[in-house]
Amino acid sequence: MPTVTEKSKKQKTISAKISPSNNDSLKPDAQLKLYYFMKLMREVEDAILRLYQQGKIVGGAYSGNGNEASAVGSAFALEKSDYLFPMHRDMGAHFVKGQSVLNLMLQHLGRDTSLTKGRDGTTHYTDPKLRIYGNISPLGAMIPVAVGVALASKLRNDKTVAMTYIGDGGASVGEVHEGLMMASVMHLPFVLIIENNHYAYSTPIDKQFLVEKLSDRAIGYGIPGVTVDGTDVLEVFHACKTAVDRARRGEGPTIIESVTMRMQGHAAHDNAWYVPKELLAEWKRKDPLVRFEKKLTDDGIITKSKQESMSADINRQIEDALKIAFERPYPPAEQASEGVFAE
């Protein structure tokens, strides 16, 4: 029977194998898609924040500014048949999986033809056709649900993978631990992205945990864990692709910590007064979209005219989606309780 020391050595070996590759093996067309989805995420979220400020969106409006590489790079590693459980800062993951700008605008504006038929105004929705299952407000509760889907996948032997996300704060709740315990011991096809945004609402990470890296917790479950630069979309993609491929082979789950910075407050109502300005300035210089744009330009993959063409296409999509969404009515009041409770 192996000793604890032998088990630790084995875990270190496994973790070494999961380390992301620095080889930019993605072809130029694929890299352009990554850039497009990141830019689409940034522009759509900015449009949503403007609508909120104009009083046209009520409730919550959230921004993933700074998380574009994490959201897009991770989802880009999935296949069409895989399951995605994104959080409220992962709009780019929705787009990678095939969601339309129109559906997300209908959703945020609470229209009767939205995916929740006007019963929600954020990304708390389900689109079974795309295998997207939007976030649950107590975010830790998403992990057991995603693990359950991964278990079903294993029982059906359909070779699909479930990927979900949690923040640095949410990573400490009990449901996350319970889900990871089950996923690890049953070798389920599950990938957890921990988005280390440095703040759980207003609580900084130095008041949340003592481990050097959140991925270090993986050793407690006997699974690989890796920390990546969440502003580098290629690094995120390669780590997630390695984890997804591993899960699909039946080798179990992986924890990937994506280190980013939440560049705006928790939601549109929060001005993030508690974040030191110099910290925001430091991370602004690491803007994932600007960083990847520079790389593509330096590599001769994107030109100024191509950037302008992309921007025009994205702006047109947003304008067309809003035109249609504003013409749709709100759901009738008498339908408010329909589809809310199980019969």
Q: Is the pLDDT of residue 179 over 70?
A: yes
Mean pLDDT rounded to a whole number for the chain: 91
- What digits encode the pLDDT tens for the residues 103-161? 999 999 999 999 999 988 888 999 999 999 988 888 999 999 999 999 999 999 999 99
- What digits encode the pLDDT tens for the residues 63-101? 999 999 999 999 999 999 999 999 999 999 999 999 999
Q: Across-strand partners of 164? A: 85, 192
Pick the CATH number of 22-328 from 3.40.50.720, 3.40.50.2300, 3.90.550.10, 3.40.50.970: 3.40.50.970
**133: amino acid identity, one letter:** Y
Q: Which helix (H) or strand (E) holds 326?
A: helix 304-327
- Global confidence as pTM: 0.90
Residue 145, number of CB atoms within 10 A of its CB: 17
pLDDT at 338: 83
Q: Is the pLDDT of residue 5 over 50?
A: no
Distance from C-alpha of 275 to C-alpha of 284, rounded to nearest angstrom: 13
pLDDT at 135: 87
pLDDT at 8: 39
Query: Residue 1: pLDDT band by 50, 70, 90 thresholds?
Result: very low
pLDDT at 170: 92
Tokens linked to 160 = 């699909």
- What digits encode the pLDDT tens for the residues 25-75? 899 999 999 999 999 999 999 999 999 999 999 888 999 999 999 999 999
Distance from C-alpha of 251 to C-alpha of 230, rounded to nearest angstrom: 25
The residue extents of the domains of the chain are: 22-328
